[in-house]
Structure 1
């Protein structure tokens, strides 16, 4: 299923044993262009506490009913560590949260390449005649080499509305984000093009050079004219969007 982030905000989240709440935001990685967390506001059963849920837990998406089903129970959600759902998230907070749900560390491969540090594989392996060492101790060398805040983790709710800056001039404004639920990849960015004020265009996320939080801007490798000449987006029409992956 292809869906805009603005549409996903109207989806409800169901656990194995009942409703959890509704999606209020999406956190994504602007390096891999992949969804990392749903920000879910729970119902009155958990005093509307906001929680983070990884797409790893998704078992089904019902577009007609606007629901996402998770392989979690309400008690698991209720017992999860409290976490700030506003950006930025600390790495230690993410580790604690993902350990609770037994979710893998999504940044492993990236930081193995970037920092050359070792980390335990998620594939089973046999260790002979070695004392057990806690996950926290095993991760210490890696964590010391990593920034405390993941610079590539972004809030869709915040970046929607950011100015899109072309290679020569301001080119438009981010209007929405299109997500593919089959792999939770970001397929396209919907941009209001300044040079074509009545048109929304589909921007390949690979054209993004940088997202700048201090200036609320998205820098792209395309001129103002090139952005305006991108394929146009018609409201509700996501079926023709092609996956922007090499």
Structure 2
């Protein structure tokens, strides 16, 4: 796995050079999958223009280099539709972006990536062009990790901490676990791994994440060791303990 905080230190590398750094991660609050990385093009484009990259474009994540390699040129990204980071991304913007890159729509089909398991399978979608044209325009469910980071956490009994990070599978780009920091409630504090399936709701108006767990159930969730996220056996053990 890789964490949201780690991704924010990564550079984005196009086929012909670096194009900026990861500024934020946008996830789907229904499927709990990463939809976009927000790229800050400071030092590369004037006025620090903000653009987004879909996991469909990501070739690999190089942890040692702290780089995300994407299958596009710097010019292709430069010419892609820009975003207003102070406004939510609309479905209309997503359609414009996906048409620009020639991708199949992830919202057509039953899964988090339409009919596919991995996002990169949507990169070559000639057969889906007709389906794209016929697609309805359901509302998207995009949320910002930087927004939810710091939200207070409530159990069915009390308030117990805050959201401090998100753990992500960099192959399927699914958001596997939320990290709850209890230090503002418990002396010394713990960082606990909690599944999205344990969420009751994210209350955007009160900046609060509510879990369908009792106090004791949440405190029984496994602690996270960030230094072991590349250890597959550790990650699998943590996922099992979080169930």
TM (norm. structure 2) is: 0.82
Q: Deviations over 1:113-167 (max 9, x none)?
A: xxxxxxxxx5627xxxxxx98966x34xx23xx34xx2x2110011010111112
1:210 and 1:107 mapped to 2: Cα distance?
22
Counterpart in the other structure of 2:154: 165
* Pair 1:183 & 2:172 matched: yes
Equivalenced residue count is: 221
1:124 and 1:134 mapped to 2: Cα distance?
8
1:224 and 1:195 mapped to 2: Cα distance?
12
Question: Contact 1:23–1:40 (CA<8 Å) still a contact in 2?
Answer: yes
2:94 and 2:197 mapped to 1: Cα distance?
26
Counterpart in the other structure of 1:68: 68
Question: Contact 1:195–1:228 (CA<8 Å) still a contact in 2?
Answer: no
Question: Which structure 2 segments of 5+ residues have no match?
Answer: 112-124
Report the CA distance between 1:110 and its aligned residue: 5.5
SS in structure 1 of the partner of residue 162 of structure 2:
strand
1:102 and 1:133 mapped to 2: Cα distance?
12
* Pair 1:199 & 2:199 matched: no
Of 222, 228, 241, which aligns to 2:219? 228
Question: Contact 1:35–1:186 (CA<8 Å) still a contact in 2?
Answer: yes
SS in structure 1 of the partner of residue 168 of structure 2:
strand
**Cα RMSD for the two superposed structures:** 2.5
Question: Contact 2:194–2:218 (CA<8 Å) still a contact in 1?
Answer: yes
Q: Deviations over 1:77-103 (max 9, x none)?
A: 111122223452111111111211122
1:100 and 1:49 mapped to 2: Cα distance?
18
Question: Contact 1:171–1:223 (CA<8 Å) still a contact in 2?
Answer: no
Question: Contact 2:152–2:209 (CA<8 Å) still a contact in 1?
Answer: yes
Question: Which structure 1 segments of 5+ residues have no match?
Answer: 112-121, 126-131
User: Which residues of 2 match residues 113-124 of structure 1 at below 5 A?
Assistant: 122=125, 124=127
Return closer, same or farther for 1:43/1:203 CA change in 2, 3 Å cut-off.
same
Higher gyration radius (CA): 1
Counterpart in the other structure of 2:116: none
